[in-house]
Structure 1
Amino acid sequence: MTVLKIARVAAIGTAIQLLMSQTAIAETLKVSTFLPPKHAFNRMLEAWGQELSDKTDGELTVEIFPAGQLAPPPRQFDLVRSGGADVSVVLHGATPGRFALSELAGLPLVAPSAGSDSAITSRRLTELAPDYLTEEHAGTRVLWMAVTPPLMFHVKGFDPSNLESFKGKRIRYQGVVWQKIIEAMGASPVPVPPAETADAMAKGVVDGATFPFEATIPFDLAPVSDFTLTPGIASASFSVVMGDHAYNRLSDEHKALIDATTGPDRAEAFGAMWDKGEGAGRAFMEKGGVQVLALEQDKLDSLRQTLASVVEEVTQASEASGLPVSDFLNAYTK
């Protein structure tokens, strides 16, 4: 082979390598959730996936595995961190104590000064994640955080507007905060996976459960509930995370797109979807024959006093662990 031919071959090889380095490799992100297919999380993840696909001409897509197909709620975070999935939805309360700072966003009586709508709380928690929550989510990249609209009691067989009637009842819960709330009301907290709640209520394993109105539709709570007590009194926090291994294998172009389509704006949009779903959830319950009750003001004031002790207990326990509780709460409620 002549020197000229060798030079041409080398030039062609260099050009091909350069072209390959500039072209994003097609990727499908494996997304795991423990929630039913019609849940707001899955609908938002589908919309996000469509956006990724549209902006990359199909080179970056998502495949969603809902309803705990890959792992139950407590294992979603480790599933992503170990590489079993690329993205997952993490319910912080499913692993008590592991996400202690994140869970503080769900405390009763605690919300940003702008309000307790999910669009507001989810955005604020996402804004604080880089400064306060990265250690709790080590090994993953937080795409966005989510805080539910305040959860309500949905019960069977007793009138929840009489707070004394909670004594001795078994209430499905998730997380340390709700465990302490239920105990403070004289009831017994029972850990039941979200997807098994309706069955547990139908069989009498529990007498009630705590969910926002929106969640009553995918978890089908109307057929097993007699009453819903309003207003909601505390929330639950979530994170949508991507494994470091998954993010690092992406091209620079795809990484930039992931960054641009997640974060506070995505959290606010998701929260707004949740807020909008509250009306539909309430209509679903009422159409199913569930009576929605409003707690009288004097009883609500009494309950607030009771729950103030829960806030104090949880925050003191977190502070004893060396967490920056005061700084975090001051920033969150600002």
Structure 2
Amino acid sequence: MLKSLLKLTIGAAAAVTMFGASVSLSQAETVLRFSHTDNPGGSRQAAAEVFAEKVAEYTEGRYKIRIYPAGQLANDPKAIEQLQLGGVDFTVSATGSYATHLPTLNLTAMPFLVDSYKQGWELYDNSDWLKGEFAKLPAKGFRVLSTWEAGFRSFTTTMPLNSPSDASGKKMRVYPNDMIRWTMEAIGFQTVVMPITDVYLSIQQGIVNGQENPVDTINSLRFYEVAKNVTLTRHVYSPLPLTVSEATWQKFSDADKKAVMKAAADASEFSRNLVRDSVNSQLDDMKSAGATIINPEIGPFREAVQSVYSKAEGIYGADVAKILADAKKIREAYPAN
């Protein structure tokens, strides 16, 4: 009897131990999916790896992030939809990509809002208007954790682009964002909307004459191979908000929310420094690979896009004045070198 009871007790203890180990293992292997469209060698992937490492560290192994680069799961618009549906847990994309769900975010893509990285960081970290807009996103099914860097948008084209007159009759790929489309049309391009994953082949096949993106994206996705003229207009500052599915966020404990936010801040600092410090070497690499780097006179491009501001006011009203005021204040406080 005693021996049987002892066996039963030991067996129960072993079961509890195994069950406890199972729970611990399950918690350690809670996998969260991170989708983005950058290539594995790009800065987004590098920052995503930092984020994943820090989330695992700060949550003491309770969460593991599995990263899916190069649009493996979805292009940018679809990844944001999957955030809302819970199909993915994290994504990182240009601010304008989120404007489908909050149209006022289109205004962050107005041309020539800021002229330096420091100004751009201050805008995204400290603009009262932008903080207020980001606060509306959880109701849409996702929230911003931090802002990563992509840089300033410039052109790669199959023909030289020295001034807006060179754009006449040419086709420019754009992503689904009114402000970018208006800017391209004001410069003189015909616009063609398509996902970034289709752009390389579309340029190669002559469907479009070029695309516009930050240097880091141009380099990562190798657009300079098929559109060898790289024109540094820096016409739009285009950072990358890191977002989390609201359904996923609400499953985190308060401690894990703080841990994820801390990891996002670490990844943001890494991303910003990496992109800012890599631009010149990336341009040198493109030049060595046969690209032509063009530094045009910016004045004609600034003049060409003036109609974009009035067009924006006609649709977005007082929000235009608010973001322009925040941007002006920041430009004055942090003059570009």
User: TM > 0.5 between the two?
Assistant: yes
**Alignment map for 1:294-313 (pairs within 5 Å):** 294-296=295-297, 300-313=298-311
Compared with structure 1, are the counterparts of its residues 226 and 252 closer, same or farther at alpha carbon in structure 2 (3 Å cutoff)? closer
1:182, distance to aligned residue in structure 2 (A): 1.5
Q: Provide the secondary structure at the position in 2 that maps to 1:225.
A: coil
Counterpart Cα distance in 1 of 2:74 and 2:57? 29
1:169, distance to aligned residue in structure 2 (A): 0.3
Q: In the alignment, what sits opposite 1:248?
A: 250
1:61, distance to aligned residue in structure 2 (A): 2.0
Which of the numbers 153, 169, 181 marks the counterpart of 1:179?
A: 181
1:266, distance to aligned residue in structure 2 (A): 4.6
Q: Provide the secondary structure at the position in 2 that maps to 1:210.
A: strand
Which of the numbers 38, 41, 46 marks the counterpart of 1:35?
A: 38
1:97, distance to aligned residue in structure 2 (A): 4.8
Compared with structure 1, are the counterparts of its residues 281 and 193 closer, same or farther at alpha carbon in structure 2 (3 Å cutoff)? farther
Contact 1:36–1:195 (CA under 8 A) maintained in structure 2? no
Q: Provide the secondary structure at the position in 1 that maps to 2:161.
A: coil
**Alignment map for 1:182-201 (pairs within 5 Å):** 182-201=184-203
Which of the numbers 132, 144, 147 marks the counterpart of 2:146?
A: 144
Compared with structure 1, are the counterparts of its residues 96 and 257 closer, same or farther at alpha carbon in structure 2 (3 Å cutoff)? closer
Counterpart Cα distance in 2 of 1:302 and 1:291? 20
Contact 1:214–1:279 (CA under 8 A) maintained in structure 2? no
Q: Deviations over 1:17-64 (max 9, x none)?
A: xx99xx994332211112222221121011111122233443322111
Q: In the alignment, what sits opposite 1:325?
A: 320
* Greater share of residues in helix: 2
Gap regions ≥5 residues in structure 2: 1-16, 330-337
1:252, distance to aligned residue in structure 2 (A): 3.1
Counterpart Cα distance in 1 of 2:314 and 2:191? 21
Contact 2:137–2:143 (CA under 8 A) maintained in structure 1? no
Which of the numbers 229, 232, 241 marks the counterpart of 1:230?
A: 232
Counterpart Cα distance in 1 of 2:316 and 2:191? 21
Q: Deviations over 1:181-219 (max 9, x none)?
A: 221122101112222222111111111111222112221
The CA RMSD measured in Å over matched residues stands at 2.8
Q: For residue 58 of structure 1, what is the amino acid of its counterpart?
A: G
Q: Does 1:106 align with 2:105?
A: no
Q: Does 1:208 align with 2:206?
A: no
Contact 1:34–1:73 (CA under 8 A) maintained in structure 2? yes
Q: In the alignment, what sits opposite 1:116?
A: 116
Which of the numbers 60, 70, 74 marks the counterpart of 1:67?
A: 70
Moved over 6 A (4+): none
**Alignment map for 1:157-172 (pairs within 5 Å):** 158-172=159-173
Compared with structure 1, are the counterparts of its residues 182 and 234 closer, same or farther at alpha carbon in structure 2 (3 Å cutoff)? same
Counterpart Cα distance in 1 of 2:125 and 2:90? 16
Contact 1:122–1:268 (CA under 8 A) maintained in structure 2? no
Q: In the alignment, what sits opposite 2:285?
A: 284
Compared with structure 1, are the counterparts of its residues 270 and 333 closer, same or farther at alpha carbon in structure 2 (3 Å cutoff)? farther
Q: Provide the secondary structure at the position in 2 that maps to 1:217.
A: helix
Q: Deviations over 1:60-111 (max 9, x none)?
A: 2211112222222212222112111111123343466533333322321212
Q: In the alignment, what sits opposite 1:274?
A: 275
1:333, distance to aligned residue in structure 2 (A): 4.0
Q: TM-score, normalised by structure 1?
A: 0.81
Contact 1:213–1:279 (CA under 8 A) maintained in structure 2? no
Compared with structure 1, are the counterparts of its residues 204 and 96 closer, same or farther at alpha carbon in structure 2 (3 Å cutoff)? farther
Counterpart Cα distance in 1 of 2:264 and 2:125? 10
Counterpart Cα distance in 1 of 2:46 and 2:106? 24
Compared with structure 1, are the counterparts of its residues 262 and 214 closer, same or farther at alpha carbon in structure 2 (3 Å cutoff)? same
Q: In the alignment, what sits opposite 1:88?
A: 91
The percentage of counterpart residues that share the same residue type is 18
Contact 1:31–1:87 (CA under 8 A) maintained in structure 2? yes
Contact 2:31–2:64 (CA under 8 A) maintained in structure 1? yes
Gap regions ≥5 residues in structure 1: 1-15
Compared with structure 1, are the counterparts of its residues 315 and 261 closer, same or farther at alpha carbon in structure 2 (3 Å cutoff)? farther
1:126, distance to aligned residue in structure 2 (A): 3.9
Q: TM-score, normalised by structure 2?
A: 0.80
Counterpart Cα distance in 2 of 1:153 and 1:50? 34
**Alignment map for 1:17-56 (pairs within 5 Å):** 25-26=27-28, 27-56=30-59
Q: Provide the secondary structure at the position in 2 that maps to 1:151.
A: strand
Compared with structure 1, are the counterparts of its residues 268 and 110 closer, same or farther at alpha carbon in structure 2 (3 Å cutoff)? farther
Counterpart Cα distance in 2 of 1:146 and 1:243? 17
